């Protein structure tokens, strides 16, 4: 059981594939430059043959060199074809274990195992292909310590599944529609050119203007915008289905098991005591319907990790959040009542929101003089956006947890236990100093930093005090009572 093991032999294919993927583009490009030569086919054959031999050889060597074992509570990996490397990872440093399978893994009946520790954003150990049972065995072996730390606490198996309706709803209300739309927009402006170049009516020698009168053109424009919107909506729903289909979260003793994905299936294991913070996000399209998604900040996945890998549950009703956390992350349950920011902060939020607009307004007004002035209308939505940001922002401290709420695009509420806070910062710009306001920033071990702007200066100070001592200063949240501080 403790002998060094090799991965499943099919991992050779994955290693070879990596090599091929790495060189295929420059290779094809260089072959294209020779396309005029007579002996072209020979060269192609030679290149492909050589590529196959190198890739195959690399695959075999990588597989042969790669061994892993679990000894004395350590995962030990020996690897490397040219540079040999040994890597020892103590069990208690492991933050998360992911088991993923893409379509090729599924054809071959194997899975990929990624082991994450706190450092860096890349997985520290990545087994390309092992049998599913072997992956499960490894996972159990590396995660057993959680039982020791939580003795005799036999929690019943808790499961929560994303239904198919919820899956579609999650896709339909996803913020990513903006991204899809902008991509399609760029793409379709390209189509425009093609249409110009290849005018189907030109065969009949009729200019476009003759066929299309003004109102039809306008209708056509409206229709195509709607069509683009609809298309990006469908794309986003499709994407959501692909990545979140069959989303299931289970709590087994001290750890969370998360499964998801249609073609590429992924199973992540996150020990409960490795969760640094919980993030509740109400996207712009979700908030009106009272829907939220819940994310986890874990030291295993750095800030660069794709947003999907940190999803605890993609779609919940707002009132479901509390029971959900009670089941799956009880450390984070508590009142979500927030204290608002001082009235003076509102102006700062509005100014902050309007200021970036001045640039395009100035530009448009100067260069398109009379009509460009209409761009001043941009200030109206910015004004209301600033007000909204002010209204949404807030903070509170209860039972050793810090709550912060702020709006980026969606409204984000973060729950951070005090003992998970890596550092706290208050900062103030000259404008903030004049209004006696500060920005609070808190970092956690996932390297994420959360900020709430324009708190009362004394509130900021007392929150730093609270981070330091865990004591509530007497002047909590009030103004100008700094003398009462118990710690000065």
Partner 1 sequence: MRPAPSNRIDERALSVWRLTGLIISMIVFLLSIVATILLFSWLEIQWLLAVLPVVLSFILGILLTLVIPKVRYRRWRYQVSEGYVDFQHGILIIKRTLIPMARVQYVDTVQGPLLRYYGLASITISTAGGSHEIPALAGEVADNLRDHIAQLAQVADDV
- Per CB under 8 A, residues contacting partner 1 are 118, 299, 419, 421-430, 433, 443-449, 457-458, 461, 464-465, 467-469, 482, 485, 487-488
Closest distance of CB 231 from partner 1, Å? 41
User: CA angle 422-426-431, nearest 5°?
Assistant: 155
Q: Which is nearer to partner 1, 110 or 299 (CB)?
A: 299
| Cα end-to-end distance, the chain, whole Å | 59
Nearest to 113 by CA among 268, 297, 308: 268
Closest distance of CB 451 from partner 1, Å? 12
Closest distance of CB 439 from partner 1, Å? 9
Closest distance of CB 330 from partner 1, Å? 23
Closest distance of CB 394 from partner 1, Å? 21
Closest distance of CB 420 from partner 1, Å? 9
Q: Which is nearer to partner 1, 207 or 470 (CB)?
A: 470
CB 316 within 8 A of CB 405: no
Three-class secondary structure of residue 126 per DSSP: strand
Q: Which is nearer to partner 1, 317 or 468 (CB)?
A: 468
Alpha helix (H) ranges present in 331-368?
345-367
Closest distance of CB 428 from partner 1, Å? 5
Q: Which is nearer to partner 1, 375 or 482 (CB)?
A: 482
Closest distance of CB 274 from partner 1, Å? 11
Q: Which is nearer to partner 1, 63 or 450 (CB)?
A: 450
Three-class secondary structure of residue 225 per DSSP: helix
Q: List Cβ neighbours of 266 (8 Å cut-off, separation of 6 or more).
A: 98, 99, 100, 101, 258, 259, 260, 309
Q: Which is nearer to partner 1, 326 or 469 (CB)?
A: 469
Q: Which is nearer to partner 1, 341 or 467 (CB)?
A: 467
Q: Which is nearer to partner 1, 93 or 318 (CB)?
A: 93
Strands 74-79, 67-71: pairing is antiparallel
DSSP element (H, E) containing 478: none
Number of other residues whose CB lies within 10 A of the CB of residue 275:
24
Strands 394-398, 401-407: pairing is antiparallel
CB 96 within 8 A of CB 269: yes
CB 143 within 8 A of CB 97: yes
Three-class secondary structure of residue 485 per DSSP: coil
């Amino acid at each position: 059981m403790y002998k060094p093991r090799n991965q499943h032999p099919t991992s050779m294919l994955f290693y070879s594939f990596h090599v091929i993927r790495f060189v295929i583009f420059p290779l094809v490009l260089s072959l294209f430059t020779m396309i005029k030569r007579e002996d072209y086919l020979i060269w192609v054959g030679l290149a492909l043959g050589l590529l196959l031999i190198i890739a195959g050889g690399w695959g075999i060597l990588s597989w042969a060199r790669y061994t892993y074992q679990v000894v004395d509570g350590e995962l030990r990996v020996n690897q490397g074809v040219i540079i040999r490397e040994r890597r020892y990872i103590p069990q208690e440093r492991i933050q998360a274990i992911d088991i993923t399978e893409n379509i090729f893994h599924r054809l071959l009946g194997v899975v990929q195992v990624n082991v994450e520790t706190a450092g860096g954003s890349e997985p520290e150990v990545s087994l390309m292909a092992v049998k599913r049972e072997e992956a499960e065995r490894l996972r159990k072996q590396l995660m057993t310590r959680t039982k020791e730390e939580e003795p005799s606490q036999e929690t019943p198996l808790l499961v929560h599944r994303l239904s198919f309706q919820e899956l579609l709803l999650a896709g339909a209300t996803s913020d990513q529609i903006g991204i899809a739309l902008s991509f399609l927009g760029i793409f379709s402006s390209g189509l425009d050119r093609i249409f110009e170049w290849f005018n189907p009516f030109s065969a009949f020698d009729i200019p476009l203007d003759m066929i299309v009168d003004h109102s039809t053109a306008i209708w056509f424009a409206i229709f195509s915008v709607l069509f683009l919107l609809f298309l990006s909506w469908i794309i986003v729903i499709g994407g959501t289905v692909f990545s979140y289909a069959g989303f299931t979260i289970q709590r087994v003793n001290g750890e969370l098991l998360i499964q998801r994905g249609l073609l590429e299936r992924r199973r992540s294991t996150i020990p409960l005591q490795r969760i640094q913070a919980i993030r509740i996000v109400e996207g712009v399209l979700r908030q009106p319907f009272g829907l939220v998604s819940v994310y986890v900040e874990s030291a295993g996945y750095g800030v660069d990790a794709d947003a999907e890998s940190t999803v605890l549950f993609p779609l919940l009703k707002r009132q479901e959040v509390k029971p959900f956390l009670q089941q799956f992350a009880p450390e984070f349950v508590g009142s979500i009542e927030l204290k608002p920011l001082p009235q003076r902060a509102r102006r700062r939020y509005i100014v902050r929101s309007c200021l970036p607009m001045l640039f395009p307004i100035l530009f448009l007004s100067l260069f398109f003089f009379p009509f460009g002035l209409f761009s001043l209308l941009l200030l109206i939505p910015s004004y209301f956006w600033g007000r909204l940001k002010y209204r949404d922002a807030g903070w509170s401290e209860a039972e050793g947890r810090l709550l912060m709420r702020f709006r980026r695009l969606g409204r984000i509420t973060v729950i951070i236990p005090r003992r998970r806070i890596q550092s706290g910062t208050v900062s103030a710009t000259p404008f903030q100093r004049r209004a006696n306001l500060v920005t609070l920033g808190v970092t956690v071990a996932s390297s994420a930093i959360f900020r709430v702007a324009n708190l009362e200066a004394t509130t900021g100070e007392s929150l730093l005090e609270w981070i330091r001592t865990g004591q509530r200063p007497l002047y909590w949240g009030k103004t100008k009572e700094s003398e009462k501080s118990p710690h000065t």
